Amino acid sequence: MSKKGLYNKYHIIRNDGKEIPEDALYFVLRYDEDTKDGRSATEALKLFSENCENRGLGKELYNRLVGIENEHLAEFKRKCP
């Protein structure tokens, strides 16, 4: 099945067992890949991390994103002489 665009691809549940409101909207981003979509997701999450109300979450997310970018850069340098 090859769907493109917005559609229900993932079933989201909360780890704490609380119900998710039926009208809640979620969008799942994969940000660990060194692809155009992965880099776009990283940039979107950086913006979120810099502006979210939970400063602890923002800092933790930003540090994770920087770590992933550093891994991609290291991989690029290994591949290039």
DSSP, collapsed to helix, strand or coil, labels residue 42 as helix
Q: Contact at 8 Å (CB) between 20 and 13? A: yes
Give me the amino acid identity at 52. Answer: C
Predicted local confidence at residue 1, as pLDDT: 61
Q: Which sequence spans correspond to the domains of the chain? A: 8-81
**Prediction pTM value:** 0.74
Closest to 69 in 3D by CA, of 41, 32, 15: 32
pLDDT tens for the chain, 81 residues: list them. 678 888 888 999 999 999 999 999 999 999 998 899 999 999 999 999 999 999 999 999 999 999 988 888 888 888 887
- Supply 6's token pair: 């917005």
Tell me which H or E stretch contains 59. Answer: helix 55-79
